[in-house]
Structure 1
Amino acid sequence: MNQNSIDKMTEIIKFVLLLVFGILLMMPFIWMVSVGFDRTANITMPFPPRLIPEEVASFNYGIVFENGRLIQSYINSGIVTVFSVSLQVGASLLAGYAFSKGDFKFKRLLFILVLCTLMIPMEPRLIPLYTLFNSFNLLNTFWPLILPTVINGLLIFLCKQFFDQLPTTLREAAQIDGASEFRIFFKVYLPLAGPIAATMVILSFIWSWNDFMWPLVVLNNQELHTVPLYLASFSLENGTSLGGLTMALATVSILPIVVLYLFLQRYIIQSIALSGGVKGGNKWVIR
């Protein structure tokens, strides 16, 4: 067996293994969609689980799209997510560029402090954040869901690493032409940051759309509930009954994330390729 045959066989084995693992990872999602189309699941959940329902019907999804509370929760989640993603990605791009190309006092110390925020989970911050927003009478509004997300240590770190890979000579040439720092960022570096921006958008969107614990703490008004809060309240009200309707609701709730990823996956792959394809390797340093 020559080398070409061995390489071809290796590629086939890799493809089969990836296909098998991909199908296994997709099984829960496929089952969730299938149960949503199973009208009998509202009476009793099928056991053992089956991927193809005995009676395929769009009954559950019809009820979902006629549900006023779900539509309102979609609007609420949409408002929070759009503002959170926009502010978070914009602030992270500016901060990442400053830490990468900027030259100012205490840059290293400030960047270390930003990285330290990654080691603080949300739970210890709940009471201080709640007290802070309560003192400003901002509870039961969307502001507590938007403002704390503006500064994200992980996204700033990703941006800095991305801008580190771009040549500093671009900035120096623009400075020679008399461009200001903001003009350099918006006209030179920002157009090159599409891949990392797409990656941050999908990450930020997932975090904001799926956030449950913090909205549960600050939102007591059902009219302001986001999609995760509505799904939780629906499950508590109905228990194990209406399983088909619950799965239909869960399927519809993740559709925005799936659609967004399908639109941005090309840029995300480019970002990963850039991170791994730099000459000499990608060095993670604090400068």
Structure 2
Amino acid sequence: MTRTLSNKQAERMSGAFKFIVLLFFGLLLMAPFIWMVSVGFDRTANISMPFPPRLIPEEPSGFNYGIVFENGRLIQSYINSAIVTVSSVLLGVTASLFAGYAFSKGRFKGKKLLFILVLCTLMIPMEPRLIPLYKLFNSVDLLNTFWPLILPTVINGMLIFLCKQFFDQLPDTLREAAQIDGAGEFKIFFRVYLPLAGPIAATMVILAFIWSWNDFMWPLVVLNNQELHTVPLYLASFSLENGTSLGGLTMALATVSILPIIILYLFLQRYIIQSIALSGVKGE
């Protein structure tokens, strides 16, 4: 009896210790974000940044955020980012679902070799592709449009890999039973497998959304017209124009710029957890 109580006490102490450690590192990771939001509410930060940094402003004010939501250029950059991101997510996730299903359940020659080529694209960073992509879109006169930001995202090796791993976990007997009933490949995909792909689709949506919304280098190369600037480009230009001044307004802009990502993640987080539990990403 005494040994049982000691074991329970040890487990509680171990659980409490793990909780404290995780809480500490969680707060440590959240500190920069909390500081950014706090500075946005500090009107005096537009004159000089508070030093040493403080997490709670002395005189909280919504002045900076009021200016942010009245900023016409920010609203235009939001619209531009929304057009690019929504288009990229829809096309990229749709193409990845088709490709992942084909690589997982399809039977065709060269499937393994083609899948290896898709995985090889993960080892090529964006920087070596900038010049070839720029010359390609320049040759078809698509620079200073949204197409160079949308079209390259249609084929995404990481999303295809995640989707294939997910479909690999689903039994082939579902496909065989549908084939016995006379269903074709497209009907099998849309009626049998696609309804089960909600978790991995949600994961791909949030990943594609983050990549597209936060993209900075490629839009900087292909967009010279300020009216077409996305949110990251507008934030960069605003910081360059104002230097170290208007720190509170800059932080307010940065906070507002990441709100869509936070909101999307809050809505889709349970599906993301399901996809990690059901797919091969967990290392099975």
Shift of 1:89: 0.5
- Equivalent position of 1:221 in the other structure: 225
Contact 2:77 2:230 (8 Å CA) reproduced: yes
Runs of 5+ unmatched residues, structure 1: 283-287
**SS, match of residue 240 in structure 1:** coil
Q: Which amino acid aligns with 1:140?
A: N
Contact 2:43 2:64 (8 Å CA) reproduced: yes
Shift of 1:2: 2.3
- Equivalent position of 1:21 in the other structure: 25
Q: Which amino acid aligns with 1:35?
A: V
- Equivalent position of 1:150 in the other structure: 154
Runs in 1 of length 4+ with deviation above 6 angstroms?
none
Query: For residues 23 and 124 of structure 1, what CA distance do their matches in structure 2 show?
Result: 37
Match of 2:208 among 204, 209, 219: 204
Match of 1:256 among 260, 264, 280: 260
Structure 1 residues 30, 82: closer, same or farther in 2, change over 3 A?
same
Q: How does 1:91-240 map to 2 (within 5 A)?
A: 91-240=95-244
- TM normalised by structure 2 equals 0.97
Contact 2:209 2:261 (8 Å CA) reproduced: yes
Structure 1 residues 133, 227: closer, same or farther in 2, change over 3 A?
same
Q: Count how many residue pairs are aligned between Structure 1 and Structure 2.
A: 280
Runs of 5+ unmatched residues, structure 2: none
Residue deviations 1:45-94, cap 9 Å, x none?
00000001011100000000000000000000000000000011111111
**SS, match of residue 178 in structure 2:** helix
Match of 2:278 among 255, 274, 283: 274
Query: For residues 257 and 130 of structure 1, what CA distance do their matches in structure 2 show?
Result: 28
**SS, match of residue 2 in structure 1:** helix
Match of 1:6 among 3, 10, 18: 10
Query: For residues 274 and 229 of structure 1, what CA distance do their matches in structure 2 show?
Result: 37
Q: Percent identity?
A: 84
Aligned residues: CA RMSD: 1.2
Query: For residues 22 and 84 of structure 2, what CA distance do their matches in structure 1 show?
Result: 36
Q: Which amino acid aligns with 2:138?
A: N
Query: For residues 71 and 116 of structure 1, what CA distance do their matches in structure 2 show?
Result: 38
- TM normalised by structure 1 equals 0.96
Shift of 1:162: 0.6
Q: Which amino acid aligns with 1:198?
A: A
Shift of 1:275: 3.2
Query: For residues 29 and 232 of structure 2, what CA distance do their matches in structure 1 show?
Result: 22
Query: For residues 93 and 12 of structure 1, what CA distance do their matches in structure 2 show?
Result: 42
Query: For residues 69 and 8 of structure 2, what CA distance do their matches in structure 1 show?
Result: 54
Q: Does 1:243 align with 2:256?
A: no
Q: Does 1:58 align with 2:62?
A: yes
Contact 2:162 2:281 (8 Å CA) reproduced: no
Query: For residues 173 and 6 of structure 1, what CA distance do their matches in structure 2 show?
Result: 52
**SS, match of residue 55 in structure 2:** coil
